[in-house]
Amino acid sequence: MSKQYSVGLTTGVFDVLHPGHLNLFENCKKVCDKLVVGICTDEYSIRYKNKKPLFNEEERLRIVSSLKSVDSAFIVSIDEVEDKTLILDRCRFDVLFSGSDWQGSERFAHTQAQFDEIGIDIVFFPYTAGISTTDLLDRKRL
C-alpha cells in the first residue's frame, strides 16, 4: 500500500536515543514508504551545538539503522546539513521531516524556498515536550 510520500528524509545528531526521537521516526514512517535518516557528523555537533556526542557518528548510525521504522541511514556532512538539496544526489527524497521546534526558523525558511522550487515538501511533527538529549544529560540521578 502506497503512503502519502515515497521517500522521506530526516536528519539529526540523534545522540542518546530517546522517546522523542522514536516519536519522530514513527510519525515519519506512517506517511512515507521508505524512511531515510541522515546522521550528523561529530564535527557538526561540536561546531554547531557545542557538544561532543556521547556516541560517535558510526555508533549513532548503527543504533538508528537498527530501528524498525528506519529503512536506511547514512552520515551527512556539515554541507549537507546546511543545504539539504546536496543530499538529493545520495537519496531521491520527496519530503523532508523535522520536529516542530525547527518550524519558522531561518534555516527552514531557506530550505523551504529551495524545496518549493524543486517540488519537495517539508512536514513538521510535534516536538515531544519535556524530553531532549540535553535535558537527559543534564538530569541528576538520585
Name the band, by pLDDT with cuts 50, 70 and 90, for residue 136.
Answer: low
142, pLDDT greater than 50: no
**How high is the pLDDT of residue 134?**
59
1, pLDDT greater than 70: no
Domains of the chain: 5-102 (3.40.50.620)
Residue 113, Cβ density class (10 Å: 0-12 exposed, 13-18 middle, ≥19 buried) = exposed
pLDDT, one tens digit per residue, over 82-132 is 999 999 999 999 999 998 888 888 888 899 999 999 999 999 998 876 666
Cite the active site residues. 49, 51
Name the band, by pLDDT with cuts 50, 70 and 90, for residue 16.
Answer: confident
Q: Considering the entire predicted model, what is its pTM?
A: 0.88
Question: Which three three-digit cell numbers place residue 122?
Answer: 517539508
**How high is the pLDDT of residue 128?**
73
pLDDT, one tens digit per residue, over 35-69 is 999 999 999 999 998 989 999 999 999 999 999 99
Sole residue written with cell 531561518: 106
**Helix H segments across the chain?**
19-31, 42-49, 57-65, 78-82, 106-118, 133-138
**How high is the pLDDT of residue 126?**
87
